[in-house]
Amino acid sequence: MDTLSLNHHAQAPDYNKHPEALCGMAEKYIKEKHPTLLAVCFDNPDHVGHQAGHDTPEYYAKLKELDGYVGRIIQAVTEAGMLKETIFIVTADHGGIEKGHGGKTMQEMQTPFIISGKDIKKGGEFHESMMQYDVASTIAHIFGLKQPQVWIGRPMLQVFK
């Protein structure tokens, strides 16, 4: 991430010692600053994937823990009075297989893309292919921005009402 393009950047303390710190920082920032765009990046599933392996009980336990943090972040947005105008995206930068990633199997290349909120169709599912850089195009579309000529991403227009 290019931190020069951000107006705020913060790193949570060691996850293993303070597992709730990042979520707490996000909740506080949302309630105090009402951000226009916020990314909360949990990197711990990557570590569990390398240590215990992907597709293991430990990995799914970590995802369940993260699911709780997503719930808390949605609650913080609600308490900030921003729920009706907010769009949530949950995604990842890679999948994994056994204790690694970076190869060309679908388990390593496929990631979730979940989008929900203002003007997003409910309960839908699309089957078109999507690439990582399409996430940025979709976000640019949400903000009504014309994407730079050099971008090759496509906004996922089918998710909108």
Which residues form the interface with Zn ion (CB under 5 A)? 46
Nearer to Zn ion, 46 or 108 (CB): 46
Residue 96: CB minimum distance to Zn ion, A: 7
Nearer to Zn ion, 97 or 120 (CB): 97
Residue 46: CB minimum distance to Zn ion, A: 4
| 158 Cβ contact partners less than 8 Å away, ≥ 6 residues apart | 124, 126, 128
Residue 72: CB minimum distance to Zn ion, A: 25
Phi-psi region of 117 (alpha: psi -120 to 50; beta: other; left: phi over 0): left
Nearer to Zn ion, 60 or 151 (CB): 60
Nearer to Zn ion, 101 or 141 (CB): 101
Nearer to Zn ion, 46 or 65 (CB): 46
d(CA 44, CA 42) in angstroms, rounded, equals 6
Closest chain position to Zn ion (CB): 46
d(CA 95, CA 109) in angstroms, rounded, equals 6
Residue 50: CB minimum distance to Zn ion, A: 6
Residue 97: CB minimum distance to Zn ion, A: 12
Gyration radius from the chain CA atoms: 17
Count the alpha carbons within 13 Å of 66 in the hemisphere toward its beta carbon: 18
d(CA 161, CA 147) in angstroms, rounded, equals 21
